[in-house]
């Protein structure tokens, strides 16, 4: 069933009013009519099963038939910090990591990042990135739309480390076994950091460790910059029993 994230202010007792781009999608793309049903989510963990009551070019009125908690949110909150890769690779990471269950995203620029964004370009990109995340969250039946943060400098990212219970730093040259690290941790708020195509410099690794990050290896194969964050996120969610089975 089609799912839409709705501004909580548009939710009233017994009814929901859909406005904005979703009106066009419901009316003109899906060609829904009065009597059809959609799922609405307030973005705060609550879902609403609704029936379309009236449809205009500007808004759609829905009657709430039932309300229930969203089931798509993991118990562990994982923020993905990804150094800006070339092309549209970051868009792929944002989409797929949202589907998997990422809590939020922190794009950043490190020494070997090829892509450089100034404030104006960063703001424009962020609007597009947030739209990609919203659509992925709707498709995967998330109960929350992950937020894409402003593009950070390396120093700015380091300053974020203390906000998390644990920081896992993907480093291909050396590091702890990911399995062993995940078996020991039950932190509920994690940050995973993945570098650019050229990897991190030695000074960046030293600075990350000095700030409390734990370097981890992702196996003997060298993963691409867009593959590593998805692999790391999947392993973490699996270890917490969020991908089926029991926690490690």
Q: What is the mean pLDDT of each run of 10 residues along the chain (248 residues)?
A: 91 95 94 95 92 96 94 92 91 97 95 79 91 94 93 96 94 82 85 90 94 90 90 93 69
Q: What is the pLDDT of residue 243?
A: 82
DSSP 211-226: TT-EEEE--SSPPPTT
**Residue that finishes a domain, picked among 26, 45, 69:** 69
Q: Same structural domain for residues 224 and 140?
A: yes
Q: What is the pLDDT of residue 78?
A: 97
CATH number at residue 34: 2.40.240.20
Range of the domain at 182: 77-239
HSE-CB at 17 with a 13 A cutoff on CA atoms is 9
Per DSSP, the three-state class of 192 is strand
Q: Same structural domain for residues 142 and 51?
A: no
What pTM did the predictor assign?
0.85
Domain for residue 245, yes or no?
A: no
| Residue owning tokens 């379309």 | 52
Write phi, then psi, for 18 (nearest 5 degrees). Answer: -95, 130
By C-alpha distance, which of 151, 62, 157, 45 is closest to 103? 45
Q: Angle at CA 234, nearest 5°, toward 1 and 98?
A: 40
**Residue that finishes a domain, picked among 53, 69, 85:** 69
**Is the separation of the CB atoms in 19 and 43 below 8 Å?**
no
Q: Same structural domain for residues 49 and 112?
A: no
Domain for residue 198, yes or no?
A: yes
Return the biggest CA–CA distance within the chain.
Answer: 61
Tell me the C-alpha distance between 33 and 44, whole Å.
27
Using the 8-state DSSP alphabet, how is residue 135 labeled? Answer: H
Q: Same structural domain for residues 212 and 121?
A: yes
């Amino acid at each position: 069933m089609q799912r839409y994230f709705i501004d909580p202010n548009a939710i009233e007792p017994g009814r929901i009013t859909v406005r904005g781009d979703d009106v066009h999608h419901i009316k003109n793309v899906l060609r829904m009519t009065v009597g059809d049903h959609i799922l609405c989510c307030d973005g705060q963990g609550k879902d609403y099963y609704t029936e379309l009551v009236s449809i205009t070019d500007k808004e759609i009125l829905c009657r709430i038939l039932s309300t229930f908690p969203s089931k798509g949110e993991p118990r562990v909150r994982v923020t993905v910090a990804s150094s800006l890769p070339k092309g549209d690779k970051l868009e792929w990471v944002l989409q797929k990591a949202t589907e998997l269950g990422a809590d939020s995203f922190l794009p950043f620029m490190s020494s070997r990042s090829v892509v450089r964004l100034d404030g104006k370009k960063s703001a424009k990109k962020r609007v597009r990135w947030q739209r990609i995340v919203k659509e992925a969250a709707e498709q995967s039946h998330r109960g929350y739309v992950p937020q894409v943060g402003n593009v950070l400098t390396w120093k700015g990212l380091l300053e974020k480390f203390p906000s998390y219970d644990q920081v896992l730093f993907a480093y291909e040259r050396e590091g702890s076994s990911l399995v062993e690290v995940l078996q020991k941790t039950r932190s509920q708020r994690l940050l995973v950091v993945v570098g650019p195509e050229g990897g991190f410099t030695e000074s960046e690794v030293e600075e990350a460790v000095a700030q409390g990050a734990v370097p981890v290896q992702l196996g003997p194969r060298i993963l691409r910059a867009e593959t590593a964050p998805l692999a790391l996120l999947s392993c973490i969610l699996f270890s917490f029993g969020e991908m089926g089975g029991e926690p490690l």
